[in-house]
Chain A
Amino acid sequence: MTQRMTCRELIEDFLAAYVDDELLPEIRDRFDEHLGQCPACVSYLETYRQTMALARAASHAEPLDDPAPPPLVEAILAALQK
């Protein structure tokens, strides 16, 4: 009989590979079995995924100084002409 995965193993050893869909099928089965019995790990996984999505959203929302400020363009041109 396979030993039940602990919260530590799930979060520390396998969660990152799970979200990247890189777990071997037998490990994934144990991972899913644990999730079926552990609301705290379900919540951790969900908020971990949301954190990844928020990091991407934060990146996309970052303002772009477009077009580049003229002094910067001039400084680059000056550096290239040295």
Chain B
Amino acid sequence: MVDLIRTHAAPLRRTCRRLLRDDVDADDAIQETFLNALRGLSSFRGDARLSTWLHRIAINVCLARLRRARPQAWTMDADHEDDALASLLPRYHHDGHRIGPLPTWSTPLDELAQRRELCERVRRMVESLPEPHRTVIVLRDFEELSTEETAELLGVRVNAVKTRLHRARQVLRTMLEHELHREELG
């Protein structure tokens, strides 16, 4: 058992931290994950990887904690969600043209992706997103779950996941645009 915990606790801790944004809460969630795993061991199917099974349990534990902590954030409708992000979403003229596209960044992706401090800033940007968008981008882009898995874990429709993910990526793109364009101007 000690070996099993040593093997799996580190990646589970990273997942729990990403979702809960708090080290103490994350460590509590890991304990709950292993407790739930022990209780549900009979439901573990040998064809799934143990790490994948534990990972799903940890995500469920974290999502339940987030729902308990801020239930209102999980019942927001799509229009209200967009209102909260309006200043970071594209705006359009009546004819459908985008209003004043800003000059954007020109540094190549491979150069950007190598920058550790930028990766850290991207993680902070994701942390700053409203909860429904943050959880979707964490599950889809960080934890690399499918859209269907994400919808099932969040208890929402596949289309809601796609819409929130698109919004989250748009907002993240605008944040990067502000930051990188300013940086390139020096």
Contacts and interface: CB of A to CB of B under 8 A. Distances in A.
A54 B35 contact: no
Interface in B74-108: 90, 92, 95-98, 101, 104-105
A33 interface: no
Contacts of B38: 80
A7 B97 CA distance: 5
B169 A51 contact: yes
Contacts of A79: 31, 34-35
Nearest to A48: B173
A57 B92 CA distance: 31
B176 A47 contact: yes
B10 A53 contact: no
A65 B16 CA distance: 13
A61 B116 contact: yes
Contacts of A26: none
A62 B123 CA distance: 8
Interface in A30-63: 40-41, 43-44, 47-48, 50-59, 61-62
Interface of B is mostly: helix
B86 to A, nearest CB: 13
B5 interface: yes
B30 interface: yes
A23 interface: no
B58 interface: no
A49 to B, nearest CB: 8
B11 interface: yes
Nearest to A46: B104
A25 B98 CA distance: 25
B156 to A, nearest CB: 16
A51 to B, nearest CB: 4
A47 B10 contact: no
Contacts of B141: 52, 55-56, 59
Contacts of B35: 79-80
A79 B34 CA distance: 9
Contact of B105 (A15, A47, A73): A47
Pick from A8, A51, A52 the residue with the most CB of B within 10 Å: A51
Lowest 9 A-B CB distances belong to which pairs?
A6-B96, A68-B9, A58-B122, A57-B113, A59-B142, A61-B119, A66-B10, A58-B119, A51-B173
